[in-house]
């Protein structure tokens, strides 16, 4: 079976025509191209307009590993619902939610970040971007030389060891990034399921578009219930994929014309 989405448009069309859908859009690598540093990712004017128009015809949730304030500011559309820190916080459309256990783990995460910063300085590792997102942390190595990457990853492994032994953190490796999250049994998938029980989302069909390992939790969560689409190479749990981020705009335009009929 061909799993390239633009060869299967008729199938998707049959699944969603005449139905109410809820659209879940990942941000980095889905709505915006992957960039060398996280602060350089911006939503294009065209993409912003499409997302804004989609908000008028269906529920739209922006799902990201970023901190909620950061993602809200980068998207800047008041009608969207925002899911930050890999699902640990949700805001928008009258909803406001934070996973309590994650808030409680903040002290441990702060301590870990201090240790990592210190180790990076002592090890003289250049190009590490250590992002403190309050409830989670992202340790980026996109800007690093190969030799430094190996040293950085081994340094991360040893710094994490005591926390993992105590079962405090959950680690997910993304695109040139190690994501450190509190081990609270909550992820993008759980946040998606929670949203699907809220007013306006209930009894709609979820369509989830994402590009990274962390989106697989969401793909799994909507299996059998909605449509899961990977951006770039096929990801486990997704039904179909696009060839790359450059095709997302085309897909959203197609969905918009289908849903506005």
| Smallest gap from residue 29 Cβ to Mg ion (A) | 4
Is there binding between residue 29 and Mg ion (CB under 5 A)? yes
E strands in the chain = 21-26, 59-63, 81-84, 89-92, 95-98, 129-132, 137-140, 169-174, 177-182, 205-210, 227-231, 240-242
- Containing 113, the helix (H) or strand (E) segment is helix 106-122
Task: Return the HEC string of 40-75.
Answer: HCCCCHHHHHHHHHHHCCCEEEEECCCCHHHHHHHH
The greatest distance separating any two alpha carbons of the chain, rounded to the nearest whole angstrom, comes to 60
Is there binding between residue 26 and Mg ion (CB under 5 A)? yes
Size of the site for Mg ion (CB under 5 A): 5
**Shorter beta-carbon distance to Mg ion: residue 196 or 235:** 235
SS3 183: coil
**Shorter beta-carbon distance to Mg ion: residue 26 or 67:** 26
What's the CA gap between 74 and 238, in Å, rounded? 26
| Smallest gap from residue 30 Cβ to Mg ion (A) | 5
Q: Which of 235, 112, 256, 253 minimizes the C-alpha distance to 182?
A: 112
Is there binding between residue 148 and Mg ion (CB under 5 A)? no
Q: Which of 21, 29, 7, 27 minimizes the C-alpha distance to 239?
A: 7
* Stretch of 19-27, 132-140, 201-209, 245-253 lying at the interface with Mg ion (CB under 5 A): 19-27
Hey, which residues between 213 and 232 contact Mg ion (CB under 5 A)?
A: none
Q: Which residue do the tokens 């448009």 mark?
A: 9
* Stretch of 76-84, 103-111, 182-190, 212-220 lying at the interface with Mg ion (CB under 5 A): 212-220
* Stretch of 69-77, 110-118, 161-169, 211-219 lying at the interface with Mg ion (CB under 5 A): 211-219
* Stretch of 17-25, 26-34, 38-46, 218-226 lying at the interface with Mg ion (CB under 5 A): 26-34
**Shorter beta-carbon distance to Mg ion: residue 54 or 62:** 62
The pair of structure tokens assigned to 30 is 């889905």
Residue of 28, 131, 148, 239 that binds Mg ion (CB under 5 A): 28
Is there binding between residue 179 and Mg ion (CB under 5 A)? no
| Smallest gap from residue 260 Cβ to Mg ion (A) | 27
Residue of 148, 211, 217, 239 that binds Mg ion (CB under 5 A): 211
Residue of 212, 218, 242, 251 that binds Mg ion (CB under 5 A): 212
Following DSSP, what letter does each residue of 228-253 receive, concatenated? EEEESS--TT-SEEESSGGGHHHHHH
Number of neighbours of residue 153 by Cβ within 10 angstroms = 14
Q: Which of 184, 135, 183, 128 minimizes the C-alpha distance to 154?
A: 128
Is there binding between residue 91 and Mg ion (CB under 5 A)? no
| Smallest gap from residue 39 Cβ to Mg ion (A) | 15
* Stretch of 27-35, 51-59, 134-142, 234-242 lying at the interface with Mg ion (CB under 5 A): 27-35
> Which residues sit at the interface with Mg ion, rule CB under 5 A?
26, 28-29, 211-212
């Amino acid at each position: 079976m061909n799993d390239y989405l633009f060869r299967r448009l008729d199938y998707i069309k049959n699944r969603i025509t005449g139905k109410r859908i809820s659209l879940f859009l990942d941000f980095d690598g889905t709505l915006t191209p992957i960039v060398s540093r996280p602060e350089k990712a911006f939503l294009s004017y065209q993409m912003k307009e499409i997302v804004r128009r989609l908000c008028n015809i269906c529920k739209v949730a922006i799902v990201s590993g970023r901190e909620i304030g950061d993602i809200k500011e980068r998207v800047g559309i008041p009608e969207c619902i925002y899911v930050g820190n890999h699902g640990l916080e949700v805001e928008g459309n009258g909803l406001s939610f934070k996973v309590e256990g994650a808030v409680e783990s903040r002290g441990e995460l702060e301590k870990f970040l201090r240790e990592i910063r210190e180790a990076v300085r002592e090890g003289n590792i250049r190009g590490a971007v250590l992002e403190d997102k309050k409830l989670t942390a992202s340790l980026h190595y996109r800007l690093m030389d190969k030799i430094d990457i190996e040293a950085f990853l081994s340094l991360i492994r040893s710094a994490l060891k005591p926390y993992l032994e105590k079962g405090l953190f959950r680690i997910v490796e993304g695109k040139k990034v190690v994501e450190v999250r509190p081990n609270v049994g909550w992820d993008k998938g759980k946040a998606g399921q929670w949203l699907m029980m809220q007013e306006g989302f209930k009894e709609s069909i979820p369509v989830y578009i994402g590009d990274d390992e962390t989106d697989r939790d969401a793909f799994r969560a909507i299996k059998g219930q909605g449509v899961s689409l990977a951006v770039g190479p096929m990801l486990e749990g997704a039904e179909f994929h696009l060839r790359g981020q450059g095709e997302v705009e085309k897909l959203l335009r197609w969905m918009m014309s289908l849903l506005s009929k």
